[in-house]
Structure 1
Amino acid sequence: MSETPMRRADRTLDAGALRALAHPLRVQLFDILSQYGPQTASSLAERTGESSGATSYHLRALAKQDLIREIPERGSARERWWERSDKSVSFDSPEAMASPAGRSATQLIMNEFLGRRQQQLMRHVTESIADPDKGDDGTAIISTANIRLTPDQAKDMIRRLSEIVDEVAASARGHEEDPDRVPFTVRVDAFALPEDGDGR
């Protein structure tokens, strides 16, 4: 389980980092910084509906584990800016998975991340149906393929998909302030289905 599931992550979160992240609001803050770039406690409060005092508290907790960092040159005495570390992270910590508490923290984090992503997907679908012109601009795809693969074929597919995503992501770095660029999320789900056909 990884925030960058198709490639090897730069950092596997240890038990301490997982415990720090295992809070619904902290997952949300971390995800907003990942998707939308640098924010202040006030801008995050507006996005989440929380108070700026609450977001500030949780930002400091994330920063203690080096999950995010302050941008001193962008801030002021009244307003601190925060950004996500540029390292990709994985939640597959053997240390954490060895304990019930670690597994519980990992489960909470994954539930929050994937729930948020699913909500974003459903909002996109709803808005596309409500405004067909917006939904037919060629900048989105929702596609499912049901195929039978050997383990080697599955690994090769994941490697090739990873290379494409990594190439595009690398070319986008350094252009975050370009007004023509908007945040996109790329999610590829590839996994073996259960033998009994039960999707629960």
Structure 2
Amino acid sequence: MCVYNPRAYEKAASFCSSIKARLIETFLAPYQAEERLYQTYRRRIEIDFAAVDDLQAAAEEADIILTATPSRQPLIRQEWVKPGTHLSCVGADMEGKQEIDEHLFAKARVFVDDVTQAAQAGETEIAVKKGIIAKGDIAGEIGSVILGKTPGRLSQEDITLFDSTGIALQDLITADYVLQQAEEKGLGMVAYL
């Protein structure tokens, strides 16, 4: 997995050198006593992380691109994205923020967490305001895809794009579900700050 930091290569390198230990602590430590689960999760985190300083080269080779920056200008150019790539854009969560070239929207199957909100803030906002796409061009909301009501990728060549602007209610429901599961399984710990 390639990691790029637009401000400092050193920060990407530092992240890469520490993430493996953090993944082990988070995902493996609770399952050390249960060999089958431990081995299952261990295989899932056997990922090599490498800092890169050439974003274009990394993007051109990537099958999945995840952006999580506070950028206000595109970092990923349309011409760098090959057919079949999936992009998840989670950093552009406010009006005016942008991480990817807005012209990608014209050739991608676009999914958002909320159509109205996405058209007003983040990646989709820019494409809608510039007339590259209309709200009706958005393929669907991610919840509908998860429920199987809206198809995701239609062909291996589809560029799919998920623009997450964040919905507080979804965050709260997810946190409540995770907490319930942890309590039922006796996982985690309570910390008072």
TM-score by length of 1: 0.29
Higher helix share: 1
